[in-house]
Amino acid sequence: MAEAGSFAERVKQQADIVRVVGEYVRLKKSGQNFTGLCPFHSEKTPSFAVHPVKQIYHCFGCGVGGDVFSFVREMEKCEFPEAVRVVAEKCGIPIPRPRERSPEERRENQQRAALVEMHREAAAFFMKQLEGTLEGKAARAYLEDRGLDAEAIARFGLGFAPSGGEVLYRHLKQKYPDKLIDVSGLVSRDQSGSGRFYDRFRRRMMFPIANEAGKIVAFGGRALGDDMPKYLNSSETPIYSKSNILYHLDRAKEGMRRQDLAILVEGYMDAIGVARAGITNVVASCGTSLAESQAKLLARFTRRVVVNYDPDAAGQAATERSIVLLLEQGFDVRVLALPGKADPDKFIREQGAEAYRKLLESAAEYVDYLIGRARQMDLSTGEGKLRAVNFLMPYVQRIPNRLLRSEWATRIAQQLRVEEPVLRESLRKAAAERRGEVKTQPELVGRGAKQAERRLIQMLTEAEGYRERLASELREGGLYQGLETERIFAALLEACAQGAAPDATALANALPESDRRLWFEIVFEAAAESNWDEAESCLAVLRRRKAKAELDAVQRQIESQTAGTGAAAGTLLRELLARKQELRRRLEELGG
């Protein structure tokens, strides 16, 4: 919980929930709220709402709700302190230095900082090599041949690793101890026993790889000649884990958010080529295939992606693996397969940015792409068709929506001309099942707390002027008891008793699940300004209701008494009748 005066409390006050949620969910202004498709359940029409003033969210479909922290906790599957940190970072709120951690942690932090510093140094070194050495000049010619001019070299910080063998190592050694250089991922150790260091990258074009925050944490090196491997990355280090990095993300994230779309390519050259064509929302997975953590990283910025991998066999396999991963993360996936077996970089150089843009816009839905792939298989025999169907089946099973699955099954059957009942049956089964499917969403709950109750709850939440007075009226005679909203009133009154303006999320957390939903629904209603007169008339409704309920109870008692005999029964009956008269009068006074 965000305690008063704590860092979390400050973050919550400064954070804009619309902006934070907007990084995960495409939100549209709708009245006083923002709405979008719920990220917590599968839906086609938006029932997820964010309240910019109250700084809360609520899904009218599945009932989840809370504040900016609970949202981030759910999305990132993290603990509260981590959620606070994430929100603070997203909103540019400086995070106070944590209290001194264990000596171990402190050492690790220092090491990471030193490694980042060393990478900046190395990047400058590689750039200088490209400028100032003979070898570097030859490398420059190679870059120019690939259409990379001085502007591009400067923009992407490209450099050159000389062939010498320990040029970088000697450079770094002037400033850093061997122990640190050893874990930098920039050097390797001689395996023959001497244990000497030599440069990991030799005679390679160097591409600095930055993390999300734009800090260089690794390098990718492309061989100039026929050296193998063609691409070589830094080894894993305390600041670099290949599967947690998307190349160019630091520069792409704004564009991805703005356009709610990411272009996913394979390598640095592709990302650079696409970015230079003016399409900045491009990232490269820098590997043969996307890793799950990369998909999750991407999902923080958009859930719409066009996969544009190389069209060779490896690229196709990578595309297919990536589709699976992206679907599992709830992405809307399209695939761009460039004509003429071109990779994006080559295509843009040869055909121009405009041609690429056009193709990008018409990129196929992933299912169409996959059907196209299946159709390239031999479909002349039953066996061949079975292979094609088996190729498609896992994808069909990963489509989150059942109706869509069944639609695709039909489409596949048509496209592959599958008539065999056995194949149809397995397609139908694949469409009906879904592995790891989330249980059906809770049905829409339309619980009808009466209007007066809703208004009183809203007033207790918002009316600064007479909250106390309203609270004491409600407490007196237990006006809220027996109401559907009883527990909400009780929690609100308790918050009022502590003298605080009730916090929507804290209150939600104090309520059982079923009430939490109702609470959020009420809080989200567009409430008009209230005044004490309205409060009075709502209180009157509750008073009448209470008097009526008492009257009913007395009437039932009277009915059971009339069956009895004797003096005692007679006395009680008289008392009950008197009470009934009194309640009747009371009700008349109350206008009921």
* Residue numbers at the binding site for Zn ion (CB under 5 A): 38, 40-41, 59, 61-62
Residues 6+ apart with CB under 8 A from 362: none
Question: Rounded distance, CA 51 to CA 525, Å?
Answer: 10
| Residue 68 beta carbon to Zn ion: minimum distance, rounded to whole angstroms | 17
| Residue 403 beta carbon to Zn ion: minimum distance, rounded to whole angstroms | 18
For Zn ion, give the closer residue by CB, 126 or 520.
Answer: 520
Question: Rounded distance, CA 555 to CA 272, Å?
Answer: 83
| Residue 26 beta carbon to Zn ion: minimum distance, rounded to whole angstroms | 14
For Zn ion, give the closer residue by CB, 76 or 89.
Answer: 76
| Residue 95 beta carbon to Zn ion: minimum distance, rounded to whole angstroms | 31
Question: Rounded distance, CA 37 to CA 60, Å?
Answer: 11
For Zn ion, give the closer residue by CB, 1 or 403.
Answer: 403
| Residue 33 beta carbon to Zn ion: minimum distance, rounded to whole angstroms | 15
For Zn ion, give the closer residue by CB, 73 or 276.
Answer: 73
| Residue 331 beta carbon to Zn ion: minimum distance, rounded to whole angstroms | 18
For Zn ion, give the closer residue by CB, 65 or 221.
Answer: 65
For Zn ion, give the closer residue by CB, 41 or 257.
Answer: 41
Residue 145 identity? D
Look-up of token digits 């606070």:
84
For Zn ion, give the closer residue by CB, 42 or 294.
Answer: 42
E strand or H helix that includes residue 208 = strand 204-210
**Up-side HSE of residue 403: CA atoms within 13 Å toward CB?**
3
Residue 504 identity? A
Q: What separation in angstroms does the CA of 558 have from each of 300, 358, 554, 575, 578? A: 66, 83, 6, 10, 11
| Among 333, 342, 247, CA closest to 297 | 247
CA 104, 110, 116: angle at the middle one, nearest 5? 135
**Up-side HSE of residue 268: CA atoms within 13 Å toward CB?**
25
β-bridge pairing 216-223 and 231-233: antiparallel
For Zn ion, give the closer residue by CB, 58 or 546.
Answer: 58
| Residue 442 beta carbon to Zn ion: minimum distance, rounded to whole angstroms | 9
| Residue 60 beta carbon to Zn ion: minimum distance, rounded to whole angstroms | 8
Residues 6+ apart with CB under 8 A from 276: 152, 348
Q: What separation in angstroms does the CA of 312 have from each of 56, 307, 326, 340, 460? A: 48, 14, 20, 11, 65
| Residue 59 beta carbon to Zn ion: minimum distance, rounded to whole angstroms | 3
For Zn ion, give the closer residue by CB, 49 or 209.
Answer: 49
